[in-house]
Amino acid sequence: MFIFLKKMLAPPVFNDDEKTHHAYLLHTILWGLIFVPIPYVSYTLLKTPEFTARFDARYYW
């Protein structure tokens, strides 16, 4: 199971070194865009709950 997960999360490898390098950079950027917001959203939800309330239409009519 761990080997399968490791293969799925690894960046792609191509015969061309330039394509492999571009794929690695894109892979790193995309995983960063996925994992960086998680601590930020968690912190926001825990430290400022007054800003996380749902929209209440009573206050806007």
Tens-place pLDDT, residues 25-60 = 999 999 999 999 999 888 887 887 666 666 555 655
How far, in Å, CA of 38 to CA of 31, rounded? Answer: 12
DSSP state of 56: -
Which two structure tokens, joined as six digits, stand for 30?
A: 């995309």
In sequence order, which ranges of 1-61 are alpha helices (DSSP H)? 2-9, 17-35, 37-47
Token duo for residue 19: 């394509």
User: Which of 7, 10, 8 lies closest to 23 in space, CA to CA?
Assistant: 10
pTM for this prediction: 0.63
